[in-house]
Structure 1
Amino acid sequence: MDNDPFHAGEQQLQSLFAVREQLAGSRAIQASLPPGFAGFLAELHYVVLAVPDREGRIWVTMVFGRPGFLSAPDAMRVRVAARPDAADPVARGIVEGTPIAILAIDLSTRRRIRVNGSVGRVGQSDFVVDVQQAFGNCPQYIRPRDVKQAVGASGEPLLISADTSLARRVVAGADTFFVATRAASDAGGDMDVSHRGGPPGFVRWDGECLIWPEYRGNYYFNTLGNLLVDPACCLLFPDFGTGEMVVMTGHAVLDGFDGRLRRSHEGMPMNGLVRFKPDLLMSRTALARP
């Protein structure tokens, strides 16, 4: 990694919001796992993963395991001793050399780290991620809760359409979702997956599209910078009340980003809005009911 970890899309938004000079050459994003990351990984019993498929779509999923199923053999590798269900599109994308993103998050303690890289060795029940970027995020906007895996959660995902009651109900009540994006090809096509949170209703349907506010954050603009250069993305909405998850893959555009902070309808400072149109939607049960 050179002296600046940010690609052209991220840099453009940083310049727009007048933070480019202070972030240029930032060491917050490392090319290996910083001290302490391995210990945090070992505590977790779930992880969020994102990969592209052969058609260029992006997919995101949650994978569960006993604490210790995530480990770091060294600062350049993360081992995941679990695999998504075979029917999950992410499972088909775990192939050596494929770009992959990891969001290691503990919603109960509001801690999270992100690891972006490529799939290395792939075994029957595990795989290794070769680290290219690793960095932490603050706990801002994370809604604390315990998460457990549902028993017997495997099975063929159900394809649904955007106008089904399930998709609309899960989105309407959501205070948490995960968003996967991809950098442009000149940046290696690197994957990234991040968390978004807010009060229930902060994401809303507008016809066939979803709209959500991008609240003020650390100004790295990892997700938004990716969308600026490649609109492909995938959203995962977990319903912690019913145990269902809705996954949507499609394309997003930035709306109202002019360098000025505004207020969302909840009164929170935001950089602008994101408008997302899903192409394919899936649902499945993978979370335990309370």
Structure 2
Amino acid sequence: MSRVFRDTMPDQHRAFFESQSVLFLGLLDKKGRVWASPVFGEPGFVQSPDARTLSIGAVPVLSDELAFDIAAGGKVGVLGLELHSRRRNRLNGEVVRTGANGFDIAVGQSFGNCPQYIQARVFDRRSGIADAFEVGRLSSLTGEAQALVERADTFFIASRAPELTEDPRNGLDVSHRGGRPGFLGVTGDSILSFPDFKGNRFFNTLGNIEADGRVGLFVPDFETGGAVFATGRAIIDWSPERSGTFAGARRIVDVTLEEILLARNIFPAGGRLLETWPGLEITGTWDEALRKEE
């Protein structure tokens, strides 16, 4: 492996994961489809007993509703994101133990990420998760779900390799994306599009999309505690004419959604925005892009 991708976690990553109250996961369902979902707990619910193991003492949100495959041998992607500091670290690996109250992951790839496009927020974990969350399956991305997506400035995307093997490069991955409210666009009732800006040049997500295309999206509303979960197939539009409508974008990703869930009260409310990522005001929105085409 390169120096960027390690097969063990450095001590600072282990301490970082252990300090978090939420992780974002890339998971499969029983049909092999990809989903992105958070897992919550009080700080300390994540432990790293050694440099090759991450133990999560909770089950991911919507585990029952979406029948996530977190049995031993299942692949998983993990993102730790500290919103107020814009610090994030990732790992991809394999479940080696599972139980009623959590699971252990053996590290396949461990790596850090830069803070680009992260909106700094105060995440008030003390507010807790609402007692009575609601979740419904939708036939299309319209109404309340569409409005949530179109005002979002942050979402998470999980992706997978075509074949899942012992090679750590052939697994699951989950990543963060950020932009101006309006950088997520909805076409018709089933296509969600977003610009892809210059990043770390790892191309984990884009490489998986080119090779396989199956992705999962988690779009949270930090103010209301609601979220949209979706799974589908993505393609990359590399044409400069289309990406040129967003300053700094290198390509456009279009996701045809196959299943959509709208959840209420599932994400702790009170995510107060401190600062947007510098420079986002010039990047554009889908409304602005459509006006340029008129």
Fold agreement, TM-score > 0.5: yes
**How many pairs are equivalent?**
263
Equivalent runs, 1:1-290 vs 2, <5 Å: 3=1, 26-85=2-61, 88-89=64-65, 92-147=68-123, 148=125, 150-153=128-131, 157-185=135-163, 189-207=170-188, 208-256=190-238, 264-267=244-247, 269-284=248-263, 285-290=265-270
Give a deviation string over 1:178-212, Cα, whole Å, max 9, x none: 00000221765400000000111111112231111
Q: Secondary structure of 1:265's match? A: coil
Q: For residues 160-191 of structure 1, what are the alpha-carbon distances to aligned partners after superposition, in whole Å with 9 as ceiling and x for unaligned?
A: 23243122111110100000000221765400
* Unmatched 5+ stretches in structure 2: 271-294
Is there any run of 5+ residues in structure 1 with no aligned partner, and where?
Answer: 4-25
User: Residues 187, 213 of structure 1: CA spacing in aligned structure 2 closer, same or farther, 3 A cutoff?
Assistant: farther
- Closer, same or farther: CA 91–56 of 1 in aligned 2, 3 Å: closer
Shift in CA distance, 100/69, structure 1 to aligned 2, threshold 3 Å: same
Deviation larger for 175-184 or 154-163? 154-163
Partner of 2:286: none
2:195–2:246 contact (8 Å) kept in structure 1: no
Normalising by structure 2, what TM-score? 0.83
Q: Partner letter of residue 269 of structure 2?
A: R
Give the structure-1-normalised TM-score: 0.84
Is 1:243–1:289's contact at 8 Å kept on the other side of the alignment?
yes
Q: Give, in angstroms, the shift of residue 92 of structure 1.
A: 3.3
Q: Distance in 2 between matches of 1:154 and 1:63?
A: 17
RMSD over aligned CA atoms reads 2.1
Change (3 A) 1:261 1:48: farther
SS of alignment partner, residue 93 of structure 1 = coil
